[in-house]
Amino acid sequence: MRIKVALIVTVSFFIMSTNSTTHADKPPLAADVIIINAKVHTMDKNQPIAEAVAMLGNRIVAVGSTKEINKLAGPNTKQIDAKGQLVLPGFNDAHTHFMSGGFQLSSVDLRDANTPQEFAERIRDFAAKLPEGRWITGGDWDHERWPKADLPTKELIDRYTPNTPIFVNRLDGHMSLANSFALKLAGVTRQTLDPAGGVIVRDPKTGDPTGVLKDAAQGFVRKVIPASTFEEKLAAARAATNHAAALGVTSVQDMSAGVDVGVYQTLLDRGELKTRIYAVWPLPSWDRLARTGIRAHYGSAMLRTGGLKGFADGSLGSTTALFYEPYRDAPNTSGIPSGEMFPEGAMLERIRGADKAGLQVMIHAIGDKANDLILSMYEQVESEDGDRDRRFRIEHAQHLRPQDIPRFARDKVIASMQPYHAIDDGRWAEKRIGKERAKTTYAFRSLLDSGATLAFGTDWTVAPLDPVLSIYAAVTRRTLDGKNPNGWVPQQKISVEEAVRAYTVGSAFAEFQENEKGTITPGKLADVVIFSRDIFKIDPKEIEKAKVVLTIMDGRVVYEAPR
């Protein structure tokens, strides 16, 4: 195995191969960090496997055997003996809500509340610790875990929170429960009309709001929640970046960053940012970003912007994902378009304007109709503006008609997907859409086979940020309830190699960064992770047990597991 020769312009040095140097024990410039005795899966097809990696500054400078890389060590080189453990490129989460995730780390946790009573008691206990009048948000509840899977109502929590406003969201973010106090503050009553792209869930007998607001209707309450202070946001961002480092996530694409770019910049200036961030803005305000002259992926290796995210529909769990056919368990609806789809033609005009401004467009689409509509809009814009490297994305690409799958590769649309959703939603998805439509749900295999680019992420906090759980999900498709030991829709499974590639190479491509990261290659950014177990060798059912031992981001250790 030969060391790759690397010329790094940013630090202007040259490393000679071990066969050409006459002073192998005293290299021209010693590496800052070397990892030796490892099983390195580089994701670089030109050199897929290695034993060791050398880093200088924030760049990888050599990849090769332990013997070769050891020759690049100097008296001040930090040497990390991996002792045969797996080394991978740092993971790049292509779809997070990073700031929200940071806030959720310190909010009430409702994700695994298994009954309505447990849900209510957790809110009661959390409220008891807060000053009267302080809002409780977040939560990430999942009513599909409950015995009857009924939606919660304000009556569940009103008696515990008479003077505490509550607005806790379902884990998909597409519906939330408000208590009576919060509804009163927002002015939501029986007379309040449903907004375009939203639903106020009502008592069928009285017509009164039950407290559950879906999609755009959540805006009634959100507009009266006090804005977080800058210091509160800093604390949340700090919690998020520390959490990411502990999970081997070295890059994220924050789908709801917007004006919070300044928060991340402050952490970066203070030397506290441990995660590279692509900060995405809301598509409806595309012209605000366009007026600055910024184009796609503008900024530094640590903090960039230039992406815009829109919504075509809601979610499967909230029965607001937009389908061509009705829901099996709610035959009165086929879902609803997002408020951003109104008035007719508004979404197309936004995509057209943003694309002409050179910004990257990413649209949330869950249902088959939503995906078809967005693919068609992308096709129309491309036909008008001509072929170029625009990298349109569909976020989730969750439920596809078979005839729409080849369109991703043909039109060069990136499928930005979250595998954990498959093993979560797979517990109950068929009661919503039936077996036939489920065959092309989370269609990882079919999309890859058609030539599409997959970029993996989590949608944190909708799903856990841990990439190992997502790889496990993509490879096994074993649902969380244990009822699909051989995988739900098993024909859509992919290999460990393919899943890791989607989480590294694919995600880097999705943000125009394939020349900077995604593989362990000389010249690329020094973002690597060491794992406790070799997920390429162990039984796929054991993948979820693999843990991060050490995370290096930008050439520095940002996390080391306790010993």
Per-residue pLDDT tens digits for 174-233? 999 999 999 999 999 999 999 999 999 999 999 999 999 999 999 999 999 999 999 999
Q: What is the pLDDT of residues 248-284, one digit of tens each?
A: 999 999 999 998 999 999 999 999 999 999 999 999 9
With beta carbons less than 8 A apart as the criterion, state whether 471 and 43 touch: no
| Average pLDDT of the residues in 1-7 | 38
Of residues 105 and 18, more confidently modeled = 105
pLDDT digit string, tens, across residues 301-324: 999 999 999 999 999 999 999 999
Whole-number pLDDT of residue 563: 84
Q: pLDDT, tens digit, for every residue of 338-383?
A: 999 999 999 999 999 999 999 999 999 999 999 999 999 999 999 9
Confidence class for position 13, pLDDT limits 50, 70, 90? very low
Domain ranges in the chain with CATH number 2.30.40.10:
1-90+518-563
The boundaries of every CATH 3.10.310.70 domain in the chain are 107-222
CA angle centred on 398, ends 298 and 475, rounded to 5°: 95
b/e sequence 275-312, b meaning 16+ C-beta within 10 Å: bbbbbbbbbbebeebbeeebebbbbeebbbbbbbbbbb
Handedness of CA 207, 209, 215, 218 (dihedral sign): positive
Band the pLDDT of 28: cuts 50, 70, 90: low
SS3 for 182?
A: helix
Q: Report pLDDT for 11.
A: 35
pTM: 0.90
Sign of the torsion angle spanned by Cα atoms 505, 507, 509, 513:
negative
The string of pLDDT tens digits covering residues 153-182 is 999 999 999 999 999 999 999 999 999 999
How far apart CA 471 and CA 372 sit, in angstroms, is 27
Pick from 563, 466, 520: which is nearest to 33 by CA? 520
Q: What pLDDT does residue 4 have?
A: 40
Assess whether pLDDT exceeds 70 at residue 21.
Answer: no
The CATH classification number of 1-90+518-563 equals 2.30.40.10
pLDDT score for 24? 40
If one counts every other C-beta atom within 10 angstroms of the C-beta of residue 75, the result is: 5
The correct answer on CATH 3.10.310.70 for the domain covering 107-222 is yes
User: Predicted confidence band at 19 (pLDDT cuts at 50, 70, 90)?
Assistant: very low
Residue 491, CB-side half-sphere exposure with 13 Å CA sphere: 7
Q: Do 273 and 241 meet the contact criterion of CB atoms below 8 Å apart?
A: yes
Helix/strand/coil percentages in the chain, nearest 5 = 30, 20, 45
By the 8 A CB rule, do 157 and 178 touch? no
Model confidence pLDDT, tens digit, residues 402-439 = 999 999 999 999 999 999 999 999 999 999 999 999 99
Convert the pLDDT of each residue in 461-505 to its tens digit. Answer: 999 999 999 999 999 999 999 999 999 999 999 999 999 999 999
Q: Which two tokens stand for residue 541?
A: 């059912």
Amino acid at 97: H
3-state secondary structure of 278: strand
Q: What mean pLDDT do residues 34-40 have? A: 98
pLDDT higher than threshold 70 for residue 23: no
Tokens representing 296 are 């796609």
Given a contact cutoff of 8 angstroms between Cβ atoms, the answer to whether 362 and 255 are in contact is yes
What integer is the mean pLDDT of 74-92?
98
Judged against a pLDDT cut of 50, whether residue 12 lies above it is answered with no
Compute the mean pLDDT over every residue in the chain, rounded to the nearest whole number. 94
Q: What's the pLDDT at 223? A: 96
> What's the rounded mean pLDDT across residues 102-127?
95
CA torsion, points 307, 380, 364, 344, in degrees to nearest 10? 110
Read off the pLDDT band of 8 (50, 70, 90): very low
